[in-house]
């Protein structure tokens, strides 16, 4: 596959079990032992990433550039959730997805996520430049 094959309509699904480590209480985003919103966001991002990876050229990856997620209902510890993502737009290097998340009973989340295709080496050089600027005390313009 290739980047040219990324088009609206591509779909992927991924599931996870709500373990203690994925609860709001454990993550710190809430006080209850149920699926944390950050864990739901991670599931959506991971599903999108795994859909795109086989279509990228060597030396490319994608990074998240935006997420808007509504957490619609609670999912208790031990239950399985399933994310379904669909590519809705491809504009140059930016890919936009619609996401829905279901537990074993109902829809518990929905939203949009966007990712940008990057050149890994170029991106790592940018990170290094930022680290170097911090060491020097002044950021580069």
Q: What global pTM score does this model have? A: 0.90
Q: In the prediction, which pLDDT does 29 show?
A: 96
For residue 21, being part of any structural domain is answered with yes
- Residue ranges of the alpha helices (H) in 9-119? 24-27, 37-52
The span from the CA of 41 to the CA of 130, in Å, is 27
Instruction: Kindly report the number of other CB atoms within 10 A of residue 37's CB atom.
Output: 15
Q: In the prediction, which pLDDT does 139 show?
A: 57
Q: In the prediction, which pLDDT does 135 show?
A: 83
Q: In the prediction, which pLDDT does 21 show?
A: 98
Q: In the prediction, which pLDDT does 131 show?
A: 86
The span from the CA of 73 to the CA of 100, in Å, is 12
Look at the chain and report how many structural domains it folds into: 1
For residue 141, being part of any structural domain is answered with no
For residue 76, being part of any structural domain is answered with yes
Domain of 20, CATH number, reads 3.10.129.10
Task: Give the domain extent around 68.
Answer: 3-136
pLDDT by 10s per residue, the chain, length 141: 567 889 999 999 999 999 999 999 999 999 999 999 999 999 999 999 999 999 999 999 999 999 999 999 999 999 999 999 999 999 999 999 999 999 999 999 999 999 999 999 999 998 888 888 888 765 555
For residue 37, being part of any structural domain is answered with yes
For residue 56, being part of any structural domain is answered with yes
Token readout for 124 is: 């790592």
For residue 27, being part of any structural domain is answered with yes
Q: In the prediction, which pLDDT does 4 show?
A: 80
């Amino acid at each position: 596959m290739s980047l040219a094959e990324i088009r609206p309509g591509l779909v992927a699904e991924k599931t996870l079990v709500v373990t203690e480590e994925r609860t709001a209480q454990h993550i710190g985003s809430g006080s209850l032992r149920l699926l944390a919103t950050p864990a739901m966001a991670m599931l959506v991002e991971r599903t999108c990433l795994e859909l795109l990876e086989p279509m990228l050229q060597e030396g490319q990856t994608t990074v998240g550039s935006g997420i808007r997620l509504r957490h619609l209902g609670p999912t208790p510890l031990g239950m399985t959730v399933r994310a379904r993502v669909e590519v809705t737009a491809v504009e140059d290097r930016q890919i936009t997805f619609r996401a829905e998340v279901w537990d074993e009973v109902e829809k518990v989340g929905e939203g949009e996520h966007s990712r940008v295709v990057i050149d890994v080496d170029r991106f790592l050089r940018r990170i290094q430049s930022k680290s170097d600027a911090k060491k020097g005390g002044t950021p580069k313009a």
